Structure 1
Amino acid sequence: MTTDALRAPVHAELPVAIIGAGPAGLSAARALKRLGIRYVQFERHSDVGGIWDIDNPGSPMYRSAHFISSRDKSGFFDYPMPKDFADYPSREQVLRYTRSFTDDFGLREAIRFGTAVSSVEQDEDGAWTVLTSTGATRARAVICCSGVTWDARTPGIPGDFAGRTMHSVEYVDPSLFRGQRVLVVGLGNSGADIACDAAANADAAFISTRRGYHFVPKHVFGMPSDETEWLPIWAERLVYGIVRRVMVGDVSRWGLHRPDHRLFESHPLLNTQLLHYLQHGDVTAKPDIARFDGDKVVFADGSRERIDLVLFATGYDMTIPYVPADYFAWKGGRPQMYLNAFSRQRHNLFGLGYLEVNSSAYTLFDRISHLMAQYLNDQVHRPDRAGKFERLIREDRPDLSGGIKFVGSDRHAAYIEVRAYKKYLRTLSKRLGWAELSPGLFNTVRAASTRKASAHANG
């Protein structure tokens, strides 16, 4: 493939291939369906939902999981979550909502369930061959929507441990902790949730962290805390700085590290329940692990604890195993894509969901897939405008940080600030003459699905 791979011929007679039927894949399907773009969707599991289906093999979901963002900020565009859902919906509610979205927009008919994708290759003519467990499919474009929480990252710890170790991807039910002395390593939002499960069920519970985190209450003035997104970032920092000082205070009192970064330069923790358990001695904070020593864990401060189970809540590596590595510019374990979505190396290779964001992702998925669909549509009907966007894919490098200096780690390399990202997408749409997302945009898709379902029921 030459360096002109970004400007390959358009194979309009072929479908677009969507890989994955979790929230990102379903967003892409709805966007393509609205514009009448033919597509086929591959899902290795037996139903939609991605990680939110606890029965999906490899899902990191656990029984006590809830959405980190609130109900009214967490839905697909123009498809709000039901008002009778909790402020922070449970995993069961999120899965039920995702499946209702699938059915209401008639997205099931194009999904090939039980079909795993093993490889994706771009052919010499610019088209794509998608090899699956049921055969090969030729496609004009590929949208990778297979998610970022499947490949667990576990640190190497010196020494030998006599107890059990596991990663949070294996964790499902708090009954695992009964009768155990448990150490949870890592304190992202999942780690904090699991530490709370351990505090309530284990004989003794400990958390080990390398750095400090900002704790943000889930509710401020009776409202979910992410409903302040309309504020500029400086004002949001000011509000939460005051709220944290009044409601949380100095977390080092309970053995936690003080944060070494400003608020929003990394994900804050929306889990004041953990502070409750720390305050009551049901969980004990420890520093980083120095080494294992039989049935003991030795920490960086020289202290040691007898531990039965070590659970690593240490995150995941972003991988797209079915795509050759050189099709994306990988750096620090993250694919470096235009707008975190468009491959700069290959024509019509996209990734949806490969970003870290400080707000709900579902509407962002819709905004990105809306751009993808318009671009694919322009390749057939407005090739001049598609060419302008291809030049942007090659050359445009916008700052999507919103002025936030994110923590300098591989994990944070793909971070974006939601307000800056949305603003740039709006600017881009106006620049190219593309329609912006607006209420009612998908009504025709939903109406067509309703008519088809009614005709099927009456037939």
Structure 2
Amino acid sequence: MTGRAVVIGAGSAGLASAAELGRLGFAVTVLEAGEHVGHRWRNRYRSLRLNTLRALSALPGLPIPRHHGNWLSGGTFADYLRSYAEHHDLDVLISTPATAVTRDAGTAWLVDTAEQQLRADVVVVATGNAAVPVLPSWAAGFTGEILHSADYREPEPFAGKDVLVVGSGNSATEIATDLIGHARDIRLSVRTSPLLVPTSTLGVSTHRMSVLGAGLPDAVWNAAGLSTHWSLYRDLARLGLGQPEVGSHTRFRETGMAPVAERGFARAVRRHQIQVVTATETATGNEVRLSDGTVLRPDAVVLAIGYRPSFPALLGDLDVLTDNGTPVRWGGPIPGAPGLFVVGAPSLQGDIREHGREAKRVGRAAAVITSAHHAHGTTR
């Protein structure tokens, strides 16, 4: 046995790292705040589909069965994560959130929960880059029904209602499309026009192409994405969705916004099933005012403007995060904090695929660190 490891978070990033550390001989404990392995995947909207191919979304050591098709539902992927934990015989403590991560006087890490303190050579934090719902400042002023996309499950409760969806990313466009046939009126409030991409071109998935072309310069991908949007979706400009000005890779690096996988949203806008409106600026009572001065009175508002990282809650005092709450280094040794790793990096080649790659890097680095401790006779 090489040492002890604590992994915080039982999503794809945490489980992949836990399995790799276990393979290397670490005694691994996984802490999961939710009620299930893959809790967030199991508690998303019913129509959610992965935007990454099944074949490129499996974690190391366990393929996803082919009978699930190319595009898994969120619930199916949650089932896969549970199977993954069982397959690797991972020790997962459910409903056990970590409350603090600190360093002792020596080289060990201490992880606190409400019930106990765990001592470890290696700590992997996998609580999520997109974990805490972001709420706009005006949300508190709206007195009607309002919820974040994190709390949206299915369209039936919105039957016959006038619904305003705020946002322009994958969740926003998917939820707006999901409401068709249920809500009376559906509006999508957009501040920044999304870059739409088809899920496949000439039978080849966009995800597979992004992996095969990962080494190409950003400028090539930027030009390709803008050209594709112009070729397939430029008619949406007259319906409120202007041509994006920034390419996919530059936008992702600057803002974290990924392209939108188009699965019927464009057709719905063309058919006037979804009306695109300008950005929401203020809300008072049951009224919402848009940037062009339009006043709407929706029955319900769904906020789909994203999430922020959860890392500061655990690591904010350790000087290992950037100003925006992300780690100074993803999936590798962090300067000044040997044995601490943060995983769950977003990637245009697929977040889940990247989580498996991170796990391998964590394993290699953890083995080196622990071997060095043992060579120097460090005790814990």
2:329 to 338, 355, 358: 338
Contact preservation (8 Å) 1:216, 1:272: no
Write out per-residue CA displacement over residues 98-120 of structure 1, whole angstroms, 9 at most, x where no aligned residue.
Answer: 2222222222xx22233221112
Contact preservation (8 Å) 2:330, 2:343: no
AA partner of residue 134 (structure 2): R
CA 1:385–1:371: 2 relative to 1, 3 Å? farther
Q: Highest CA radius of gyration, 1 or 2? A: 1
Write out per-residue CA displacement over residues 295-320 of structure 1, whole angstroms, 9 at most, x where no aligned residue.
Answer: 33221112222211111111112122
2:48 to 65, 69, 80: 65
Q: Give the TM-score of the pair, scaled to structure 1.
A: 0.73
- 1:204 and 2:177 are equivalent in the alignment: no
Task: Name 1:445's counterpart in structure 2.
Answer: none
Q: Does the residue aligned with 2:30 lie in a helix, a strand or coil?
A: strand
CA 1:284–1:367: 2 relative to 1, 3 Å? same
Q: Give the TM-score of the pair, scaled to structure 2.
A: 0.88
Write out per-residue CA displacement over residues 50-84 of structure 1, whole angstroms, 9 at most, x where no aligned residue.
Answer: 31122xxxxxx111111011222222135332222
Contact preservation (8 Å) 1:328, 1:336: no
AA partner of residue 274 (structure 1): F
1:309 to 293, 300, 314: 300
Contact preservation (8 Å) 2:2, 2:26: no
Alignment of 1:12-411 (within 5 A): 15-54=4-43, 61-77=44-60, 79-107=62-90, 110-157=91-138, 160-229=141-210, 230-231=212-213, 232-233=216-217, 236=221, 240-266=225-251, 267-320=258-311, 322-339=313-330, 341-353=332-344, 355-381=345-371
Q: Does the residue aligned with 1:173 lie in a helix, a strand or coil?
A: coil
AA partner of residue 68 (structure 2): F
Task: Name 1:449's counterpart in structure 2.
Answer: none
CA drift at 1:190: 0.9
CA RMSD of aligned residues (A): 2.6
What CA distance in whole angstroms lies between the structure 1 residues aligned with 2:373 and 2:100? Answer: 29
What CA distance in whole angstroms lies between the structure 1 residues aligned with 2:313 and 2:282? Answer: 36
Write out per-residue CA displacement over residues 419-453 of structure 1, whole angstroms, 9 at most, x where no aligned residue.
Answer: xxxxxxxxxxxxxxxxxxxxxxxxxxxxxxxxxxx
Contact preservation (8 Å) 1:117, 1:322: no
Write out per-residue CA displacement over residues 351-405 of structure 1, whole angstroms, 9 at most, x where no aligned residue.
Answer: 111x22112222322222212222222234357999xxxxxxxxxxxxxxxxxxx
What CA distance in whole angstroms lies between the structure 2 residues aligned with 1:161 and 1:322? Answer: 28
Deviates more, 1:45-54 or 1:29-38: 45-54
Contact preservation (8 Å) 1:14, 1:138: no
**Identical positions, percent:** 24
CA 1:130–1:242: 2 relative to 1, 3 Å? closer
CA 1:374–1:158: 2 relative to 1, 3 Å? closer
CA 1:228–1:259: 2 relative to 1, 3 Å? same
CA 1:358–1:286: 2 relative to 1, 3 Å? same
Task: Name 1:426's counterpart in structure 2.
Answer: none
AA partner of residue 370 (structure 1): K
CA 1:332–1:312: 2 relative to 1, 3 Å? farther
Task: Name 1:407's counterpart in structure 2.
Answer: none
What CA distance in whole angstroms lies between the structure 2 residues aligned with 1:47 and 1:213? Answer: 33
AA partner of residue 27 (structure 2): R
What CA distance in whole angstroms lies between the structure 1 residues aligned with 2:229 and 2:157? Answer: 33
What CA distance in whole angstroms lies between the structure 1 residues aligned with 2:86 and 2:278? Answer: 48
AA partner of residue 298 (structure 1): R
CA 1:29–1:159: 2 relative to 1, 3 Å? closer
CA 1:337–1:384: 2 relative to 1, 3 Å? farther
AA partner of residue 315 (structure 1): G
Unaligned runs of 5+ in 2: 252-257
Unaligned runs of 5+ in 1: 1-11, 55-60, 387-459
CA drift at 1:260: 2.4
CA drift at 1:46: 3.9
Contact preservation (8 Å) 1:77, 1:362: no
CA drift at 1:225: 1.5
What CA distance in whole angstroms lies between the structure 2 residues aligned with 1:324 and 1:361? Answer: 22
AA partner of residue 107 (structure 2): G
Q: Does the residue aligned with 2:197 lie in a helix, a strand or coil?
A: coil
What CA distance in whole angstroms lies between the structure 1 residues aligned with 2:331 and 2:12? Answer: 17
What CA distance in whole angstroms lies between the structure 2 residues aligned with 1:153 and 1:203? Answer: 27
Deviates more, 1:111-120 or 1:324-333: 324-333
What CA distance in whole angstroms lies between the structure 2 residues aligned with 1:243 and 1:153? Answer: 30
Contact preservation (8 Å) 1:337, 1:343: yes
What CA distance in whole angstroms lies between the structure 1 residues aligned with 2:153 and 2:311? Answer: 25
Q: Does the residue aligned with 1:125 lie in a helix, a strand or coil?
A: coil
CA drift at 1:248: 2.4
Q: Does the residue aligned with 1:17 lie in a helix, a strand or coil?
A: strand
